[in-house]
Amino acid sequence: MWRPLLGLVAGTAVYGFALGSAHSELYATRNLVKLPLLVIATAAICSLSYFVAARAFRTQLSFLQVQRHAWRLFVDLGLLLGSLSPAVFFVARVARALDDGQLGDYDVFLALNLVCVASAGTLALVKQSHELLAGQFSSPLRARALVVVWLALSLFVGGQVAFTMRPFFGFPATRGNTPPWFVGRERDLRGASNFYEAVLQTIEQPPLPAWLQGK
């Protein structure tokens, strides 16, 4: 069990370092600890939530079965994120070299990483759910519905934990500052006080690359 957990920590730490490189070495080195902590905290909450949801759908899954597959899910997530880290590091360094010293491509980089994490998490969840739910439902529709509920729980929990533990990377204008490790419910750049409000504001104001914002 320890070896998979080490893989989770290593994969998320490398991804976190790549993520923070868009801002500064301070953010990059802090993320070696912060991103693994984010994923482990999310896994701990979601593993319990998955079991409650499974019981609500009247499965015969035991608590240990759900816990085992839930943690394997997050191990897979960590490994997938680790595999994406070279590409994310390259984009981060390019964005940092070309930023305008103000907001730069912060929104675009944020959106890119949300897509990376959501895609990796979805793939990991589908893989583990397929193994766990085999033979649990006579109706494939109910199995898919439970997977959708688990996915929604992962996104809601992970998003809010990430919002509380931010910053993982900051916009260029904050470079040179020494922020606290976690800013909690402090409002973000647009005034959002939680993850869901931040997502809504991003949808209402889609991010554009810095070179397009003046056109």
- Residues 6 or more apart whose CB falls under 8 angstroms from that of 68 comprise none
pLDDT higher than 50, residue 78: yes
pLDDT higher than 80, residue 211: no
- Residues 6 or more apart whose CB falls under 8 angstroms from that of 62 comprise none
Mean pLDDT of the chain: 87
- The candidate with the shortest Cα–Cα distance to 162, out of 126, 198, 133, 125, is 198
How would residue 47 be classed by pLDDT, with cut points 50, 70 and 90? very high
How would residue 192 be classed by pLDDT, with cut points 50, 70 and 90? confident
- Residues 6 or more apart whose CB falls under 8 angstroms from that of 3 comprise none
Percent of the chain at pLDDT exceeding 70? 92
pLDDT tens across 153-176, in order?
999 999 999 999 999 988 888 888
Q: For position 115, what pLDDT does the model report?
A: 92
pLDDT higher than 90, residue 75: yes
Which two tokens mark 83?
């595999």
Per the CB < 8 A criterion, the answer to whether 30 and 181 are in contact is: yes
- The candidate with the shortest Cα–Cα distance to 33, out of 24, 20, 44, is 20
How would residue 206 be classed by pLDDT, with cut points 50, 70 and 90? low
Q: For position 151, what pLDDT does the model report?
A: 93
DSSP H or E segment with residue 36: helix 25-56
- The candidate with the shortest Cα–Cα distance to 22, out of 119, 118, 112, is 112
pLDDT tens across 101-148, in order?
887 788 789 889 989 999 999 999 999 998 888 878 767 888 889 999
Which two tokens mark 91?
């984009």
Q: For position 98, what pLDDT does the model report?
A: 86
pLDDT tens across 3-23, in order?
888 999 999 999 999 999 999
pLDDT higher than 50, residue 89: yes
Decide: pTM greater than 0.75. Answer: yes
